[in-house]
Amino acid sequence: MHKTIRVVLILLFACGNSKAQSTPLTMTALNGQLGLAGRAADAPQVPGAGQGPFGGQEPAPFGSGEQPLLRFAGDNGPQNVLMFDLNDSTGYDDHVYGTNQNTYADFFTDVGARLSFFAVRKRLDVSLDYVPSFFIYRRNSSADYWNQTLGFDATLDLSRRFQLRVRDSGTEYSYGSFGLGQQLVPGLGPPGGAILYSINPETRTVSNASRLDLLFTKSERTVIDVFGADNTLTYRAHFSDWQGATGGLTYSYRVTRRGAFSATYVYTNTLFQGTPSATSLESTQGGSRFATQSLFLSYAYQISKTTSVSFYGGPERTHVGETLVLSLPLSTAGVIQVFIPFHRFEWDWSAGGGVTTTTHKTAISLTASRAVSNGGGLLTAVNSDFASLGFARRLPHSWQWSSSLNYGLSQALIFGSLPSGSFNTEIGQVSLGRKLGEHLSLSFDYQHQRQRQGGGYSLGFADLDRDRASVRFDWGVKKIPLGHHRL
């Protein structure tokens, strides 16, 4: 992730002095590509449907890799601006090390900053959201840690019909999923990013997803997208590190003014290094690998000015390959290792959908999905089921309420030496906040995490119950305009 940040900063400052665009925005403009149009910088960051592939307001068909952000209707997102903010949170964590085996509670302080850059130029649009922070505990100094998260998106008009888009989404954090902050730039989702919904306690995690898209606008109705992606997930503990490469093709067609159809083919090749410590007599040599071919058909429709729906589905064919190492004890107190090559093909299916409703005072999002993915370090290849409900509401006296409830179920594909098992993960969070002035805002935040293992798996430390509550202040230190454009 450190190399990615250096490359992003070079591109950011290289385009900072470009001539401002004076013509109306096209489908390549920042808001159309990021789903930020009509969303204020302080709007709730709840997952939901975003812009369509043609720059309209309809939800995007599955396949773009986008994880859009839900926003209130009528709000304006950040445009042509460089912003620098500072933030500070003080709160209480009842499980500092993120595990039920070592239940240490403590008060903490989270000090961080944010650098956000949004530029719309004649041929190049760039956005960046970088959030570093440092957690400091009052008594458990060994649990202090550094967090950082990055969202980057750049779109270059190569010609009237061809566009090149580069995206990167990365995080580095410790002990679960707290303290990452809310991103202004959407992250990357399937295909092009993994479905990750398991919590690895007592470890430091680094994840990064990069994606390159070449888009060809054939007509006002048709867009063809050829893409490739690279994904990594690394732990500083005895979990399964993960590295995957993805390639695919998406054909998008606007059926009506309100509806769009897409067909996406994806090939993903994934390698796991390391084996969860639950295995005793069996392990793998050279890691475990699986390759998945998928075909998704998707349709998105704008029901009304406030409500939209999208859904997708299709078959998946997975090839699993590894070399098993079976350790057999001998009567003479010795151990002999037997190497057994193992291959298996498996057919499955994927499906998902979502519905969003956005008005000037209320925002609601409901999404659900199922696909073959990775188990986030605790398991390797899994069938991953995920559901998320988000709700935000503007209240009297400038207060704003936002909440989300997320559920994930990862069930291991049964093959080879890897232990069969599953993990249920639930994360709920609520936030109540308001602006205290032009540059200062206040919020009260609470989050609950719960994770349970099943299917005979024996990682006791993976069972988790965790609560955290905090008071947060955000100070907008600097906001530098970078030029203007006409909508």
pLDDT at 241: 83
SS3 track for 336-387: EEEEEEEEEEEEEEEEEEEEEEECCCEEEEEEEEEEEEECECCECEEEEEEE
Residue 246 maps to which CATH number?
2.40.160
Q: How many CA atoms lie within 13 A of 161 on its CB side?
A: 9
The model scores a pTM over 0.85: no
Q: Which of 68, 65, 31, 29 is nearest to 298 (CA)?
A: 65
**Does 8 have pLDDT greater than 70?**
no
Task: Tell me if 320 is assigned to some domain.
Answer: yes
pLDDT band at residue 339 using 50, 70 and 90 as cut-offs: low
Q: Are strands 307-329 and 335-358 parallel, antiparallel or unpaired?
A: antiparallel
Q: What is the pLDDT of residue 285?
A: 47
Residue 487 falls within a domain, yes or no? no
Residue 207's domain comprises 2-481
pLDDT at position 56 is: 39
CA distances from 173 to 191, 204, 272, 305, 377 (A): 23, 6, 20, 39, 14
pLDDT attached to residue 175: 65
- What DSSP string describes 32-53? HHHT-TT--TTS--EE-----T
Structural domain total, the chain: 1
Indicate whether 356 belongs to any domain. yes
Q: Is 267 exposed, middle or buried (0-12, 13-18, 19+ CB in 10 A)?
A: middle
By C-alpha distance, which of 209, 200, 210 is closest to 376? 200
Residue 486 inside a domain? The answer is no
Residues 6+ apart with CB under 8 A from 302: 57, 58, 59, 258, 259, 308
Whole-number pLDDT of residue 420: 66
pLDDT at 14: 43
* Residue 163 and residue 28 in contact, taking contact as beta carbons nearer than 8 Å: yes
Whether 102 has a pLDDT exceeding 60, the answer reads yes
Which amino acid, residue 72?
F
The reported pLDDT for the residue numbered 222 is: 93
Residue 106 contacts residue 97 (beta carbons within 8 Å): no
